[in-house]
Structure 1
Amino acid sequence: MFQPSQHDVRNFFCQTLAKQRNGELLSPIETLAAGWIAEHPEYHAELADVEAALAAVYDVDEGRTNPFLHLSMHLSISEQVSIDQPRGIRQAVELLAAKRNSLHDAQHEVMDCLGEMLWASQRSGLPPDGHAYLDAVRRRATR
């Protein structure tokens, strides 16, 4: 399993923005990331300063959103949808996006479900529960 370091993730998003701005060729995963970066102009200044990005601390108590975590979650959800893993996530996300009339808004709701699943897994010491995650997304899509 690929497990990039915090440095790797931050560098990836910063370099993707730089390559996009310079009109350089992007890999498929960079192209996907660039789309989500474009959806979040509020992160562009942070992504443009690689040194500051690598050194930044995002403390929840300070109310700072971690742009790298946020963008990584967008990528994770996009990858889950592309391979339909857990099975049924594609349909649930598509239904939620249609209901919200926005893939971006739907992904933000899915992030809440993904975050809850990961938090529960960490707290319990058990593997992430893909069924509970999918059920949570489906509930949002059908209410």
Structure 2
Amino acid sequence: MFAPSQHDVRLFFCEAHRKHRAGEPLTPIEAVAADWIAEHPEYHAELADAEAAKAASYQVEEGRSNPFLHLAMHLSISEQIGIDQPRGIKQACELLSHRLGSRHEAHHQIMECLGEMIWASQRSGLPPDGEAYIDCVRRRAMR
């Protein structure tokens, strides 16, 4: 199983951003990451300095959002949709995107459901509940 460190993840996004800006070839996963980075210009300055990114601390108490966590969630959701795993996420995302008129905003709503699923799993000690996750996204799509 692929288990990158926090530094690996941060360097991945910084490098994808650097390569995209320089017009260098991107791997397929870097291309997806670069697309999400482009959707978040508020993160560009942080992504431009890999050394500072490695050292940065994103504490809830400081009120700073973690751009690497946010982008990683976009990337994870994109991968889930691409392979429809958990089964039904692709259709649920399409419904939510249609309702909101924005794939980007749909991803933000899905992030909330993903976060809830992970929190519940950690709290209960049980594996993540993919059905509860899909149900959460579907409920948001049907509002």
Does TM, scored on the shorter chain, surpass 0.5? yes
The equivalent residue for 1:5 is 5
The equivalent residue for 1:113 is 113
Q: Separation in 1 of the partners of 2:102 and 2:96? A: 8
The equivalent residue for 2:38 is 38
The equivalent residue for 1:60 is 60
The equivalent residue for 2:137 is 137
Is the counterpart of residue 18 in structure 1 residue 41 in structure 2?
no
RMSD, matched Cα: 0.4
Identity between Structure 1 and Structure 2 (%): 72
Question: Which residue identity does 2:39 align to in structure 1?
Answer: E
Question: Which residue identity does 1:70 align to in structure 2?
Answer: H
Is the counterpart of residue 125 in structure 1 residue 129 in structure 2?
no
Q: Separation in 1 of the partners of 2:130 and 2:141? A: 16
Deviation at 1:138, TM superposition (A): 0.4
Runs of 4+ in 1 over 3 A off after TM superposition: none
Normalising by structure 1, we get a TM-score of 0.99
Structure 2 residue ranges without an equivalent (≥5): none
Give deviations 1:7-63, integer Å, cap 9, x for gaps: 100000000000001100000000000000000000000000111100001001111
Normalising by structure 2, we get a TM-score of 0.99
Is the counterpart of residue 87 in structure 1 residue 92 in structure 2?
no
Give deviations 1:47-83, integer Å, cap 9, x for gaps: 0011110000100111100000000000000000000
